[in-house]
Amino acid sequence: MFKGILWSPWRMKYILSGGGAKCIFCEAVEGDDRKHWVIARSKHSIAVLNIFPYNTAHVMVAPKRHIPRPDLLSRDEVLDLHSLVILVIKAIDREYKPHGYNVGMNIGKVAGAGIESHLHIHIVPRWLGDTNYMPVIGLTKVMPEDLTQTYERIRRSLESVTNT
Protein backbone atom coordinates (compact mmCIF):
# COMPACT_ATOMS: atom_id res chain seq x y z
CA MET A 1 0.00 0.00 0.00
CA PHE A 2 1.28 3.47 -0.92
CA LYS A 3 1.61 5.83 2.01
CA GLY A 4 1.77 9.30 0.53
CA ILE A 5 2.16 12.66 2.19
CA LEU A 6 -0.64 15.16 2.69
CA TRP A 7 0.67 18.53 3.83
CA SER A 8 -1.20 20.32 6.62
CA PRO A 9 1.30 22.89 7.92
CA TRP A 10 -1.34 24.72 9.97
CA ARG A 11 -1.43 21.72 12.36
CA MET A 12 2.07 22.53 13.68
CA LYS A 13 0.69 25.43 15.72
CA TYR A 14 -1.63 22.94 17.48
CA ILE A 15 1.12 20.34 17.98
CA LEU A 16 3.56 22.86 19.43
CA SER A 17 0.94 24.40 21.70
CA GLY A 18 0.88 21.22 23.78
CA GLY A 19 -2.66 21.95 24.87
CA GLY A 20 -1.68 25.33 26.33
CA ALA A 21 -2.43 26.49 29.86
CA LYS A 22 -5.12 28.97 28.82
CA CYS A 23 -8.65 28.00 27.93
CA ILE A 24 -9.36 28.65 24.24
CA PHE A 25 -12.96 29.63 24.99
CA CYS A 26 -12.00 32.11 27.72
CA GLU A 27 -9.38 33.60 25.38
CA ALA A 28 -12.06 33.90 22.69
CA VAL A 29 -14.52 35.57 25.08
CA GLU A 30 -11.91 38.20 26.01
CA GLY A 31 -10.17 38.51 22.64
CA ASP A 32 -10.54 39.60 19.05
CA ASP A 33 -13.21 37.73 17.07
CA ARG A 34 -11.15 37.12 13.94
CA LYS A 35 -8.03 36.03 15.83
CA HIS A 36 -10.05 33.52 17.88
CA TRP A 37 -12.41 32.44 15.06
CA VAL A 38 -15.50 33.74 16.90
CA ILE A 39 -18.40 33.73 14.45
CA ALA A 40 -21.09 34.96 16.88
CA ARG A 41 -21.62 36.34 20.36
CA SER A 42 -24.75 36.52 22.46
CA LYS A 43 -25.33 37.75 26.00
CA HIS A 44 -24.04 34.57 27.69
CA SER A 45 -22.45 32.53 24.87
CA ILE A 46 -20.02 32.48 21.97
CA ALA A 47 -19.84 30.44 18.78
CA VAL A 48 -16.36 29.58 17.55
CA LEU A 49 -15.22 27.89 14.35
CA ASN A 50 -13.37 24.69 15.21
CA ILE A 51 -9.88 25.13 13.70
CA PHE A 52 -9.30 21.35 13.86
CA PRO A 53 -12.67 20.36 12.39
CA TYR A 54 -14.25 16.95 11.91
CA ASN A 55 -16.06 18.37 8.87
CA THR A 56 -16.37 21.68 7.04
CA ALA A 57 -18.29 24.30 9.09
CA HIS A 58 -17.69 22.49 12.40
CA VAL A 59 -18.61 25.04 15.08
CA MET A 60 -18.42 24.96 18.87
CA VAL A 61 -20.85 26.96 21.04
CA ALA A 62 -19.80 27.66 24.61
CA PRO A 63 -21.04 29.66 27.56
CA LYS A 64 -18.94 32.74 28.28
CA ARG A 65 -18.60 31.59 31.86
CA HIS A 66 -15.83 29.02 32.45
CA ILE A 67 -17.73 25.97 33.72
CA PRO A 68 -17.30 22.23 33.02
CA ARG A 69 -20.88 20.91 33.13
CA PRO A 70 -24.34 21.90 31.87
CA ASP A 71 -25.94 21.48 35.29
CA LEU A 72 -23.93 24.50 36.48
CA LEU A 73 -25.58 26.84 33.95
CA SER A 74 -28.28 29.27 35.01
CA ARG A 75 -31.65 29.10 33.24
CA ASP A 76 -30.76 32.24 31.28
CA GLU A 77 -27.44 30.71 30.19
CA VAL A 78 -29.15 27.46 29.08
CA LEU A 79 -31.67 29.36 26.96
CA ASP A 80 -28.99 31.63 25.51
CA LEU A 81 -26.64 28.73 24.71
CA HIS A 82 -29.40 26.71 23.04
CA SER A 83 -30.63 29.75 21.10
CA LEU A 84 -27.13 30.33 19.73
CA VAL A 85 -26.87 26.65 18.72
CA ILE A 86 -30.13 27.03 16.77
CA LEU A 87 -28.95 30.26 15.12
CA VAL A 88 -25.68 28.65 14.03
CA ILE A 89 -27.53 25.63 12.60
CA LYS A 90 -29.81 27.97 10.61
CA ALA A 91 -26.77 29.84 9.26
CA ILE A 92 -24.99 26.63 8.27
CA ASP A 93 -28.21 25.34 6.68
CA ARG A 94 -28.49 28.49 4.59
CA GLU A 95 -24.86 28.55 3.50
CA TYR A 96 -23.86 24.87 3.21
CA LYS A 97 -27.13 22.93 2.96
CA PRO A 98 -25.97 19.84 4.89
CA HIS A 99 -28.14 16.73 4.97
CA GLY A 100 -27.90 16.42 8.77
CA TYR A 101 -25.88 17.21 11.88
CA ASN A 102 -24.09 15.68 14.81
CA VAL A 103 -24.73 18.00 17.77
CA GLY A 104 -23.45 17.22 21.23
CA MET A 105 -21.10 17.73 24.11
CA ASN A 106 -18.43 15.57 25.68
CA ILE A 107 -18.45 15.92 29.46
CA GLY A 108 -15.26 14.66 31.09
CA LYS A 109 -12.04 13.28 29.61
CA VAL A 110 -13.30 9.68 29.42
CA ALA A 111 -16.23 10.92 27.31
CA GLY A 112 -13.80 12.44 24.80
CA ALA A 113 -13.65 16.02 26.04
CA GLY A 114 -10.52 17.66 24.68
CA ILE A 115 -11.24 20.77 26.75
CA GLU A 116 -13.01 19.36 29.76
CA SER A 117 -12.89 22.45 31.97
CA HIS A 118 -15.07 24.62 29.69
CA LEU A 119 -18.38 23.23 28.51
CA HIS A 120 -18.99 23.46 24.76
CA ILE A 121 -21.41 22.03 22.23
CA HIS A 122 -20.13 20.69 18.91
CA ILE A 123 -22.16 21.33 15.77
CA VAL A 124 -20.86 19.11 12.98
CA PRO A 125 -22.64 19.36 9.62
CA ARG A 126 -22.99 16.06 7.74
CA TRP A 127 -23.59 15.24 4.09
CA LEU A 128 -24.59 11.98 2.51
CA GLY A 129 -21.33 10.39 1.43
CA ASP A 130 -19.10 12.70 3.51
CA THR A 131 -17.18 9.68 4.70
CA ASN A 132 -14.80 8.08 2.25
CA TYR A 133 -11.72 5.87 2.08
CA MET A 134 -9.21 8.54 3.18
CA PRO A 135 -9.80 8.30 6.96
CA VAL A 136 -9.92 4.50 6.79
CA ILE A 137 -7.08 3.73 4.39
CA GLY A 138 -4.97 6.87 4.59
CA LEU A 139 -5.75 7.77 8.21
CA THR A 140 -6.34 11.29 6.87
CA LYS A 141 -9.35 13.60 6.70
CA VAL A 142 -9.56 15.82 3.63
CA MET A 143 -11.05 19.28 4.25
CA PRO A 144 -12.28 20.88 1.01
CA GLU A 145 -12.39 24.50 2.18
CA ASP A 146 -9.90 26.90 3.76
CA LEU A 147 -10.86 27.91 7.34
CA THR A 148 -10.78 31.61 6.47
CA GLN A 149 -13.36 31.04 3.73
CA THR A 150 -15.53 28.96 6.10
CA TYR A 151 -15.30 31.71 8.74
CA GLU A 152 -16.40 34.40 6.27
CA ARG A 153 -19.22 32.29 4.83
CA ILE A 154 -20.72 31.43 8.22
CA ARG A 155 -20.44 35.00 9.55
CA ARG A 156 -22.13 36.35 6.42
CA SER A 157 -24.86 33.73 6.70
CA LEU A 158 -25.36 34.53 10.41
CA GLU A 159 -26.02 38.14 9.48
CA SER A 160 -28.69 36.95 7.02
CA VAL A 161 -30.50 34.65 9.44
CA THR A 162 -30.29 37.20 12.26
CA ASN A 163 -31.92 39.84 10.07
CA THR A 164 -34.82 37.62 8.93
User: Where in the sequence numbering do the catalytic residues fall?
Assistant: 120
124 and 102 Cβ atoms separated by less than 8 Å: yes
Dist CA 18 CA 13 (whole Å): 9
Strand 38-41 to 100-104 pairing: unpaired
28 and 46 Cβ atoms separated by less than 8 Å: yes
Number of other CB atoms surrounding residue 27 within 10 Å: 14
Q: Name the 3-class secondary structure at 75.
A: helix
